[in-house]
Amino acid sequence: MGRKINNLLLEFARLHRFLMRFFREVVSPPFEFKEIIRQCYEVGWKSFPLISLTGFIVGFVFTKQSRPSLEEFGATSWLPALISIAIVRALAPLVTALIASGKVGSQIGAELSSMNVTEQIDAMEVSGTNPFKFLIVSRIVATTLMIPVLCFYVAGIGLFGGYLSITSKDDLSLLSFFTQVFESIQMIDLFAMVLRAVVFGFTIGFASCYVGYYSSKGTEGVGIAANSAVVASMFIVFIEELLIVQLLGFITPLIS
Amino acid sequence: MSASENKRSLIVGLFVFIGLIILVAGILVMGTQQNKFSKNIKVTAFFKDVKGLKVGNNVWFSGVKVGIIKEIAFEGVENVRVSMNIEEKNSQFIRKDVVATLGSDGLIGNSIISLVGGNPQTPQIADGDVLKSGASVGMEQMMGMLQENGTNLSVITSNFAKLSQQMVDGKGTVGALMTDDDIANNLKTSVQSMNKVMSDANVAVNNLVALTQKLNSNQGLIHDLTTDTKVFASLREAAAQLQGVTQTANALVENLNQTSARLNDKDNAIGVLTNDPEAANEIKQILRNLNTSTQKLDDNMEALQSNFLFRGFFKKREKEADKVAEEIK
């Protein structure tokens, strides 16, 4: 028991060191711009088809499912407002983060842990390249930047999916739809969406890199790393979602 | 930098650019819609009860959104200050004397403030104005009214139920009308007689029409009466004479009255005869005496006939009577 607690505390210490090292390295030159761009391409552009399709389906299905309960008291004209609030405040960042942790998180975890297993990271260090900067910082920066961008796409495409779902039953112009959409959200909602996406992006990159970087040696370590990268990312994303909702609930009345 | 790397950067740059455009477009659209960027006029109104109005709710004027609620704060007990931002471009149509009322943009919609009225002669609103606030028909009032109506309705329906029950039972005039056969039959007969009366009346009216037509034509007494002045003059004369006659008659009647009054008195012969019971008795006695006297006289006369002195006279008269009878034969 005491040993377990000891291990847990040691893990926390390592996590803290890793985090501190990231922040130290991210602001200190030299910057690996080319590698960051490459990672952005991998994380953002390569995930775009999957995530945008998911966003569209979420918007479409969510609208379709919400219709009956609004129809019950004849308030289907409120669908745009409902979708707007649901997608901008919650769904867009969350869906993006979940899909990205599945696609990007597992990729990062597997990549880094296999590098670890094949001792490429050690070799990199020997050859004079800072592996932490080259591998970790670039990936975490890439996810932190790309997840918000993906999230904007998801929000836009999700709303469009919702619009298509509405027009399948009702007659509604796109202009009228977006007027209602933006009427029902506030500036703070957009701000919260960006905040969430940034936090989720950082979380996915950080958790996946950490798991991959410290994976155990051996072939099975790659599988475990890939798996736990996804599980840890998703889990932490949900916990952060919970915390951010609480925080925004506290901040919103103070700002508006 | 290799070609593939260059292409990659380009894709990432474009990808990020479009993503940011979505965000910025969203912010701009929302900002303009909620007048974050347009010029505003700040006005306030005071309410006793804002009924769940929130910061960011809309302000309507003639059903058009012209601004938003900026601040809601207590100013005192039951006194809430509501500050609103009115778009400057719309403010020229809003007058200083508009009344701010609380409303809702739908049955279950958001609370809004709607600006009502405004005299075109008064100047337009300006920054810092305090608007009058008016009472609005709130949901609760409507519900209260509905409740009252409901109670009234239930009373009315129960009354109707009673009424209809009585009708069915045959109580009251309507009930009797509806259920009693006798009344129905009576009604039928009365309607029939009414019909007859009506047809008679019709005939009468026709006659009347004929009569009036005759009157209108220049013939007949009534026409003369109404048109001829001579006839009227003689009628007046006749009336005057009639008056004289009645006066004479009056005098006559008076005399008669006096006479009859005299009859009632006892100071004259007739008066005594009619009024005095004593005199009546005496007269009765006299009459009785007379009766007996005449009877006795009759006896005496018969005795006289059979007397020898007068027998010859009677025989002679008999013979003469026989002779006359024979001559006639």
Domain ranges of chain B: 35-136, 191-218, 228-267, 277-309
Query: Measured between CB atoms, does B22 come within 8 Å of chain A?
Result: yes
Given 3-state DSSP classes, what are the helix, strand and coil percentages for chain A, each rounded to the nearest 5?
Answer: 90, 0, 10
Residue of A nearest to B30 (CA): A182
Instruction: Please give the helix or strand (H or E) that residue B72 lies within, else none.
Output: strand B64-76
Question: What is the band of B311 on the pLDDT scale with cuts at 50, 70, 90?
Answer: confident
List phi, psi (to 5°) of A245.
Answer: -60, -45
CB-based contact A80:A63 (threshold 8 Å)? no
Under an 8 A CB cutoff, do B15 and A185 touch? no
Lowest pLDDT segment from A75-84, B86-95, B233-242, B303-312: B303-312
pLDDT of residue B218: 67
Lowest pLDDT segment from B2-16, B143-157, B249-263: B2-16
> For residue B92, which of B57, B134, B122 has the smallest C-alpha distance?
B122
Which residues in chain B touch residue A138, judged by CB atoms under 8 angstroms apart?
A: none
| Whole-angstrom distance, CA of residue B7 vs CA of residue B9 | 5
Under an 8 A CB cutoff, do B34 and A183 touch? yes
**Mean pLDDT within B127-137:** 77
Which residues in chain A touch residue B22, judged by CB atoms under 8 angstroms apart?
A: 152-153, 155-156
Predicted ipTM beyond 0.95: no
CB-based contact A91:A62 (threshold 8 Å)? yes
Under an 8 A CB cutoff, do B26 and A182 touch? yes
Question: What is the band of B20 on the pLDDT scale with cuts at 50, 70, 90?
Answer: confident
**pLDDT exceeds 90 at position A28:** no
**Mean pLDDT within B263-279:** 74
3-state SS class at B167: helix
Q: Which of the residues B2, B16, B30, B32 would you substitute to probe the A interface, choosing the one with the greatest number of A C-beta atoms within 10 Å?
A: B30
Query: Measured between CB atoms, does B249 come within 8 Å of chain A?
Result: no
**pLDDT exceeds 70 at position A248:** yes
pLDDT of residue A157: 92
**pLDDT exceeds 90 at position A200:** yes
Q: How many CB atoms lie within 10 A of CB A138?
A: 24
Which residues in chain B touch residue A73, judged by CB atoms under 8 angstroms apart?
A: 108
Lowest pLDDT segment from A128-137, B24-33, B103-112: B103-112
Burial of B72 (0-12, 13-18, 19+ CB in 10 A): middle
Which residues in chain A touch residue B36, judged by CB atoms under 8 angstroms apart?
A: 187
Higher local confidence (pLDDT), B174 or B315: B315
pLDDT of residue A256: 59
Beta partners for residue B68, in sequence order: B58, B85
Under an 8 A CB cutoff, do A38 and B34 touch? no
The angle that helices A187-213 and A92-100 make with each other, rounded to 10 degrees, is: 10
Under an 8 A CB cutoff, do A149 and B19 touch? yes
The angle that helices A138-167 and B3-33 make with each other, rounded to 10 degrees, is: 50
pLDDT tens-place string over residues B57-115: 888 888 888 888 888 888 888 888 888 888 888 778 888 888 888 887 766 667 888 88
Higher local confidence (pLDDT), A26 or B285: B285
pLDDT of residue A2: 80
Under an 8 A CB cutoff, do A75 and B108 touch? yes
Which residues in chain B touch residue A75, judged by CB atoms under 8 angstroms apart?
A: 108
Q: Which of the residues B15, B59, B72, B85 would you substitute to probe the A interface, choosing the one with the greatest number of A C-beta atoms within 10 Å?
A: B15
**pLDDT exceeds 70 at position B225:** no
3-state SS class at A68: helix
| Whole-angstrom distance, CA of residue A166 vs CA of residue A162 | 6
Question: What is the band of B138 on the pLDDT scale with cuts at 50, 70, 90?
Answer: low
Which residues in chain B touch residue A48, judged by CB atoms under 8 angstroms apart?
A: 15
Under an 8 A CB cutoff, do A153 and B11 touch? no
Query: Measured between CB atoms, does B117 come within 8 Å of chain A?
Result: no
Under an 8 A CB cutoff, do B26 and A155 touch? yes
Query: Measured between CB atoms, does B28 come within 8 Å of chain A?
Result: no
